[in-house]
Chain A
């Protein structure tokens, strides 16, 4: 493999990981800081440990889906492995570009949706060049992924609704000392903060390293010592995410933690537990979903169960719009980036 291409891939993957840590993981962890149970430093340490554990233990399923689940890379490799390398670089650059733009304008765009969209863009390029047939793209997998994007916030909302309903009935309503109940839930919230970092590691690290895995595996790079190639890349992605969290994410944590005073420990626990459960379940079946969007669904669930004085449903409109925009935009951007790269490297 061309060293320049390999380096570009690693850098782009690392940038994606940084962005995921700086925004998505920071949001998920920020909901634990409002209760003042943990300092930002402690949050970063906990997130690092559990993000790594989640990535290493359960991250390979989703990585496999992003790397090879959507586009039949084996068929393209037969024509030229360089096409796959350039395609994956274009995909990761397109996703990074779109994520950067979205972050600049505070748009609720998902890194998962971006990378899936851009990998699909590469698939369409291959169809246009005649490397594969249109029907070769694994549309059924793509449909499952997209369906899970709709389903995951809904399931998150229902689960959070049920959890908070139980917490409210069993503890808040019956208690003579509500602040005492909230205090006890602080530690449960700390535990769910670890759970959410673990779940995030199991699903979102793949967004950054999925394309890298596809390429490095294709060139036959093996593991290192006891670690397999997938584990090495997952480790790399998780480190990138933790660096993102500690270099920029702490600002997001601080903003989210200080602003969302309404998400008391009982409410935070319900939303985080529901989110982490839904995300982890998707990691088991290898479906890449958005942790942030699931968290939004869960927060709405807590709100509907009476946990919040109010929720702004405008954000749902924005998120749904972002679903419809992200995939085509990322796909088209990937196609646009592919042409100059192909001209240069192929």
Chain B
């Protein structure tokens, strides 16, 4: 019902920035989930589904961008929130970066067919993606816990509980970095079969998939700083 012909106290309340951040994170996680699916389809040579998924990823990234802009709108100067606005905007920018990387990966993937990619490289690319996904799903759990932190009005115990989950994500990110080197080594073992252009294509794909984990770790690091300020 429109808020018409009423004298109400509604204007005092603002939408929760944490809810908005969580909603944005869901969109980001969905984008990466779709990228994982797209990589599988790409490596199996299913071109039409790969193209469909690229379009879906484009749309999801665009939605995430719109949510980012809306978030900035809910925080005019007159609104006083529990957390530092600039910190939240930094976090949002970093979180949005994950979706951007996923989109870049999706675009890059479609530029070259997968026929000449050796099976062992394909397998390792899939494993690398799975490891990055583990990282992003750890991040998804942390974001879900934000609700509990807010429900207790930022109790130290809840913040501590959430912050304690972050090192596991950082460990996963480190493992992704290490595995990236392994995949690259395997790739260069096949450089003669694939050729320079093929190697370059897959190197950038590996970089992008690895960057998803890096950016995720960077985002949780900002989140930790934001929450620790409240303790």
Residues in chain A near residue B75, CB distance under 8 A? 310
Across the interface, do B7 and A259 meet the contact criterion of CB distance under 8 Å? no
Q: Within 8 Å CB of B8, what residues of A?
A: 23, 26-27, 30, 106, 252, 255-256
How many residues of A sit at the interface, in one of the four size bands? 35 or more
Chain A residues closer than 8 Å to B19, beta-carbon distance = 309
Q: Given A255-B1, A310-B82, A313-B78, does the pair A296, B153 have CB atoms closer than 8 Å?
A: no
A178-B152, A309-B14 known; A102 and B7 CB under 8 Å?
yes
Q: Which residues of A contact B154 (CB under 8 A)?
A: 306
Is B17's beta carbon under 8 Å from chain A?
yes
Q: Digitize B8-49: 1 where CB-to-A-CB distance is under 8 Å, 0 elsewhere.
A: 111111101111000000000000000000000000000000
Residues of A within 8 A of B76 (CB): 312, 314
Chain A interface helix/strand/loop/mixed: helix
Interface presence of A311 (CB below 8 A): yes
Q: Are B13 and A308 in contact (CB under 8 A)?
A: yes
Q: Point out the residues of chain A lying under 8 angstroms from B153, CB to CB.
A: 168, 172-173, 305-307
| Contact-size category for B | 20 to 34
Which residues of chain B have C-beta atoms less than 8 A from A299's C-beta?
9, 12-13
CA distance A307 to B8 in the complex (A): 20
B197 CB-CB contact with A under 8 Å: no
Do A252 and B79 touch across chains, with their CB atoms under 8 A apart? no
Interchain Cβ contacts under 8 Å between A and B, 13 examples: A24-B7, A27-B8, A109-B7, A173-B157, A251-B6, A255-B3, A259-B3, A260-B10, A300-B12, A309-B150, A312-B12, A312-B14, A315-B9
Closest 8 CB pairs of A and B: A310-B81, A314-B78, A173-B155, A306-B153, A309-B16, A310-B14, A23-B7, A315-B12
Could you list which residues of chain B lie within 8 angstroms of chain A, going by C-beta atoms? 1, 3-14, 16-19, 75-76, 78-82, 148, 150-157
